[in-house]
């Protein structure tokens, strides 16, 4: 047992241990002040209390002092206690369709991972197409993106990481020094990030945004609708990302024949494809087909949960095999975010913020979209993208009402950029996983990520201006 002696002065130790309670005292004082001041013109008492709760959740989400899920549970509890919504209505919001879609998507993704289908697909494709340094980078980058269309980008990054790590070690690349090693791990992270924006399945933030929109306005966005709006941004960002990886990070490796042995060993370990892999693959294909073409009629959550039931009916997985893939904290976080968003909308708080704060700089729909997308992409570099959506979307829906904008446009404007975080390890688990390898540093990621972030924001706004009107999204 290791004993660590803290040699700091006693006053430093006491101060450090008292900061956390002091922080919560300050947060409580802020809340008390906001609910005690005279109610501003145009805002009701319920709206004032909701804004006070919103500010507290904002501080806790940004600071990370409490887990995201716990802050969201606090929001669920406080909404009825403050008299904004009654208990039945507040807790019923946790049963939003988006929450159950997210749960179903986690379980389906876990089944694909557990069956070995995802790992087999990755190894076989990389062994077949990764014959040169550039082609290996391309196979990792584009395959990670494509798999993130259908699975959580975090799960894809976690699955690819040991494979890419073995490749780097097999080539005897030096951590922190090899340019090619940096390219390998950035290809992994960027592929997951960009691919995760393409559909509802890459990250739970999009279902969260869609659920909040439906709860606030009754308007729904279908699986295919969202993908049609996001896909040009995804496709062009993939091309930009590959250009960056191969031109700005030129390879310092010429021969990668040693990697064949790594792939051959991995394929041998996987053995022959089995019944579970075939069955899970077919079920996922059918599920995605139903989401695309019958999602509006049947409901994407109903399809997801029905597919989960089929998994267990045919014994393709066991519950204990799936538990590790289900992020219960994220599900709790999203339920609370939807509740807080609905409280902001129904109390009039979101509309009041839009009228008093945003109206100063919002002069046209395109300016609104440009500023909201920039704010989203900057915030998501430093905090959870789910928290960014929980913070910005209620206000954005209020702006839509003020300027007669389709609230779906605001939802796209926040949901798509919220997934494009390239700069820092804390921005997304894919970035954190890449940096944890030791082959790419946080500084390397920030230097390359800034260019990707700027490119993503400019490209998104060009897409809004040129492409969206062509598919019927009128601004």
The tokens of 88 are what? 């039945």
Positions of E strands within 1-158: none
Positions of E strands within 39-89: none
Residue 373 lies in a domain: no
The pLDDT score that the predictor gives to residue 7 is: 59
The pLDDT score that the predictor gives to residue 258 is: 67
DSSP category for residue 212: H
The tokens of 37 are what? 């001041």
> pTM for this structure?
0.78
- Under a CB-based contact definition with an 8 Å cutoff, are residues 344 and 82 in contact? no
Residue 211 lies in a domain: yes
CA 193 – CA 153 distance, rounded (Å): 7
Residue 26 lies in a domain: no
CA 331 – CA 398 distance, rounded (Å): 25
Residue 448 lies in a domain: no
CA 340 – CA 76 distance, rounded (Å): 7
- Under a CB-based contact definition with an 8 Å cutoff, are residues 24 and 6 in contact? no
Map tokens 């049963």 to a residue: 95
Residue 100 lies in a domain: yes
The tokens of 43 are what? 């805002």
Nearest to 191 by CA among 224, 223, 164: 164
Nearest-5° angle of CA 451, CA 455, CA 456? Answer: 120
Residue 7 lies in a domain: no
176 C-beta neighbours (distance < 10 Å), count: 14
The pLDDT score that the predictor gives to residue 386 is: 78
Expressed as residue numbers, the domain containing 254 is 44-349
CA 117 – CA 281 distance, rounded (Å): 7
- Under a CB-based contact definition with an 8 Å cutoff, are residues 391 and 379 in contact? yes
pLDDT, block means (10 residues), the chain with 475 residues = 59 67 91 94 90 89 80 91 90 81 83 83 77 85 91 80 80 82 91 92 84 88 92 95 86 68 76 88 90 82 92 91 78 81 84 70 81 88 78 85 86 93 79 83 86 95 94 86
By three-state DSSP, how is residue 462 classified? Answer: helix
Nearest to 430 by CA among 234, 180, 140, 124: 140
DSSP string of 274-299? -HHHHHHHHHHHHHHHHHHHHHHHH-
Could you give the residue ranges of the DSSP H alpha helices within 196-325? 205-217, 223-243, 259-270, 275-298, 300-313, 319-322
Residue 420 lies in a domain: no
The pLDDT score that the predictor gives to residue 81 is: 94
The pLDDT score that the predictor gives to residue 231 is: 92
CA 450 – CA 442 distance, rounded (Å): 12
Number of domains in the chain: 1
Q: Number of C-alpha atoms within 13 angstroms, CB side, residue 319?
A: 1
Residue 408 lies in a domain: no
Cα-Cα-Cα-Cα dihedral sign, residues 390, 391, 397, 400: negative
- Under a CB-based contact definition with an 8 Å cutoff, are residues 322 and 60 in contact? no
């Amino acid at each position: 047992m290791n004993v660590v002696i803290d040699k700091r002065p006693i006053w430093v130790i006491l101060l450090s241990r008292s900061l956390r309670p002091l922080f919560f005292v300050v947060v409580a004082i802020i809340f008390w002040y906001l609910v005690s001041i005279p109610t501003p013109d145009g805002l009701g008492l319920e709206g004032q209390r909701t804004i006070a709760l919103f500010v507290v959740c904002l501080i806790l989400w940004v600071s990370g002092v409490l887990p995201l899920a716990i802050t969201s549970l606090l929001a669920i509890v406080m909404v009825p206690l403050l008299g904004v919504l009654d208990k039945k209505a507040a807790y019923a919001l946790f049963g939003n369709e988006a929450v159950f879609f997210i749960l179903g998507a986690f379980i389906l993704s876990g089944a694909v991972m557990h069956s070995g289908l995802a790992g087999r697909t990755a190894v076989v494709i990389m062994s077949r197409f990764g014959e040169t340094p550039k082609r290996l980078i391309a196979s990792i980058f584009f395959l990670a993106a494509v798999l993130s269309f259908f699975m959580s980008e975090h799960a894809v990054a976690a699955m690819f990481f040991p494979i890419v790590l073995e490749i780097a070690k097999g080539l005897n690349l030096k951590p922190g020094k090899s340019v090619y090693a940096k390219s390998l791990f950035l290809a992994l992270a960027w592929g997951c990030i960009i691919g995760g924006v393409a559909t509802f399945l890459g990250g739970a933030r999009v279902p969260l945004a869609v659920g909040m929109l439906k709860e606030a306005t009754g308007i729904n966005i279908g699986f295919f609708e969202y993908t049609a709006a996001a896909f040009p941004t995804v496709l062009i960002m993939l091309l930009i990302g590959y250009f960056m990886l191969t031109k700005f990070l030129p390879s310092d490796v010429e021969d990668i024949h040693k990697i064949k042995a790594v792939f051959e060993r991995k394929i041998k370990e996987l053995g022959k494809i089995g019944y579970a892999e075939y069955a899970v693959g077919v079920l996922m294909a059918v599920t995605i087909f139903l989401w695309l073409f019958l999602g509006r009629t049947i409901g994407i959550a109903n399809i997801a949960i029905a597919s989960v039931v089929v998994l267990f009916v045919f014994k393709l997985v066991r519950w204990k095999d799936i538990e590790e893939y289900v992020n219960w904290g994220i599900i709790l976080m999203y339920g609370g975010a939807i509740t807080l968003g609905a409280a902001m909308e129904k109390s009039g708080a979101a509309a009041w913020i839009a009228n008093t704060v945003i109206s100063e700089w919002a002069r046209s729909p395109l300016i609104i979209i440009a500023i909201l997308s920039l704010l989203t992409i900057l915030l998501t570099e430093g905090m959870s993208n789910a928290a960014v959506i929980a913070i910005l979307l209620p206000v954005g829906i209020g702006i839509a009402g003020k300027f007669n904008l389709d609230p779906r446009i605001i939802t796209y404007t926040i949901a798509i950029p919220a997934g494009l975080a390239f700069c820092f390890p804390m921005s997304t688990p894919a970035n954190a996983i890449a940096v944890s390898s030791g082959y790419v540093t946080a500084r390397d990621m920030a230097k390359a990520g800034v260019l990707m972030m700027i490119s993503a924001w400019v490209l998104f706004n060009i897409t809004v201006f040129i492409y969206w009107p062509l598919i019927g999204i009128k601004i």
